[in-house]
Amino acid sequence: MPVAKDKSRPRVLLFIPIYNEQCHIDAVLDEAGRYIDDILVIDDGSTDGSKGILTRRGNIFLITHGRNRGYGQVLRDAFAFAQDQDYDWLITMDCDFQHEPAWI
């Protein structure tokens, strides 16, 4: 028998778009992971080794684009993922520490 979804606690997904961010990825994901469990990263065609770093991490949802499709497309993909996975909230955060993970 399926377990009913606990509506008293909303499901929250953190979304981080990535494009050539290999020097920041691990630090940002480690810090964000202190505050939230579910993290979606979309690699928008990085050419700097970002994809390899992300693939080795097992604690994120990862979508990769073969080529850079632009910020608008990664936002559409993130919203679609959140809807498909029945999240109540989607938080977006850059991968360069412009946004403090503690603010989540």
pLDDT for the residue 6: 62
Confidence of residue 10 (pLDDT cuts 50, 70, 90): very high
Which H/E stretch holds residue 29?
helix 25-32
* Angstrom distances, CA of residue 70 to CA of 19, 30, 43, 76, 86: 9, 25, 11, 10, 25
Whether 100 shows a pLDDT value over 80: the answer reads no
**Could you tell me if 11 and 87 are in contact, meaning their C-beta atoms sit under 8 angstroms apart?**
yes
Domain assignment present for 104: no
- The tokens describing 3, both together, are 């377990």
pLDDT at 3: 44
76 lies in some domain: yes
- Expressed as residue numbers, the domain containing 71 is 12-95
What total of structural domains would you count in the chain?
1
CATH of the domain at 28: 3.40.1380.20
Instruction: Judge whether 55 lies within some domain.
Output: yes
For the full predicted model, state whether its pTM sits above 0.85.
Answer: yes
88: pLDDT strictly greater than 50: yes
Residue 40 in domain: yes
In a domain, 42, yes or no: yes
